[in-house]
């Protein structure tokens, strides 16, 4: 898995390889740290998060007397990414919601999660709650057909909460383990979208106490710092438990992972690293940092 992660993060690693070269230079420490600051910002770590990382390295170096800046950077990054628990709530039966803007990869992420847990022997069902886009329902239906999974969907323009209500009823009646709810990412106003998501959440919790066990925010990592702006908006929606970062294999902006955790205080739980249903990894701070810097 580690080798695969290194390969999938190749575009971000290209930028981080410059950090490796920087550490091998004979320049003064202060000069190296100034250059490191610039490289981290270029990797879309963000100015505020980068400042925290650089200050942390300085403090650790002063306290320990260590001049091994690469080791200190690793410690700092792992510490930052470990602030929030990335443990996934795998209590069954469970209903998980996937939220985020259209185009971020929610539907494909739902399929990847479905494949993962189906492969582990769980009975998985999908709910097409994005009734405002026929393409979203069609895409989820095709994934269900490919993976041989039931997909509960309604008519185009139907009340999403009513589709979810039917899905939860079917889920319970058929004794399935996991229901993945693919939600809309855009209504004509932001307030309407949040109200719709809250309504869906209430329907789920009313029909299955304790659910949804996970509300996962799906973010497109290729848009870098713009993903932070999106996440801030969705973070107002109560109950988000973690982040699914998509398209990490196609970006040099993988540093946004650090900004998401630090600025939003949300854990990364899953990473999408390709187009197929198999291209999913659970997030590990240690593995991620090693893959970037080794």
- For residue range 197-214, list pLDDT tens digits in order: 999 999 999 999 999 999
Residues of the chain with pLDDT under 70: 1-2, 187-189, 224, 251-253
Domain boundaries, the chain: 2-81, 94-283
CATH of span 2-81: 1.20.120.140
pLDDT of residue 114: 98
Phi and psi at 124, nearest 5°, equal: -115, 140
pLDDT value for 46: 86
Query: What is this structure's pTM?
Result: 0.91
Q: Are the C-beta atoms of 171 and 95 separated by less than 8 Å?
A: yes
CATH 3.30.565.10 fits 94-283, yes or no: no
Closest CA to 176 of 215, 112, 122, 238: 122
Q: Which pLDDT belongs to residue 79?
A: 94
Domains 2-81 and 94-283 share a fold: no
């Amino acid at each position: 898995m580690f080798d695969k992660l290194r390969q999938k993060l190749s575009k971000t690693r290209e930028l981080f390889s410059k950090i490796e070269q920087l550490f091998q230079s004979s320049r003064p420490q202060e000069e190296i740290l100034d250059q490191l600051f610039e490289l981290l910002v270029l990797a879309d770590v963000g100015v505020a998060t980068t400042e925290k990382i650089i200050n942390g390295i300085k403090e650790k170096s002063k306290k320990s007397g260590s001049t091994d800046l690469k080791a200190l950077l690793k410690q700092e990054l792992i510490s930052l990414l470990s602030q929030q628990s990335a443990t996934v709530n795998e209590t069954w039966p469970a209903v998980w919601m996937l939220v985020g803007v259209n185009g971020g990869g929610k539907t494909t992420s739902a399929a990847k999660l479905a494949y993962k847990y189906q492969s582990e022997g769980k009975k998985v069902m999908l709910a097409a709650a994005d009734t405002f886009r026929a393409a979203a329902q069609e895409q989820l239906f095709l994934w269900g057909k490919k993976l041989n999974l039931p997909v509960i969907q309604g008519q185009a323009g139907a009340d999403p909460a009513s589709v979810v209500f039917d899905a939860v009823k079917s889920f319970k009646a058929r004794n399935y383990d996991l229901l993945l709810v693919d939600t809309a990412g855009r209504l004509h106003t932001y307030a309407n979208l949040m109200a719709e998501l809250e309504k869906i959440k209430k329907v789920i919790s009313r029909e299955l106490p304790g659910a949804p066990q996970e509300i996962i925010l799906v973010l497109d990592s290729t848009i870098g710092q713009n993903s932070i702006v999106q996440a801030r908006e969705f973070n107002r929606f109560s109950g988000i438990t973690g982040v699914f970062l998509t398209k990490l294999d196609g970006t040099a902006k993988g540093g946004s992972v650090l900004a998401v955790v630090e600025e939003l205080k949300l854990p990364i739980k899953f990473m999408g690293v390709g187009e197929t249903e198999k291209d999913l990894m659970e997030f590990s701070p240690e593995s991620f940092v090693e893959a970037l810097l080794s």
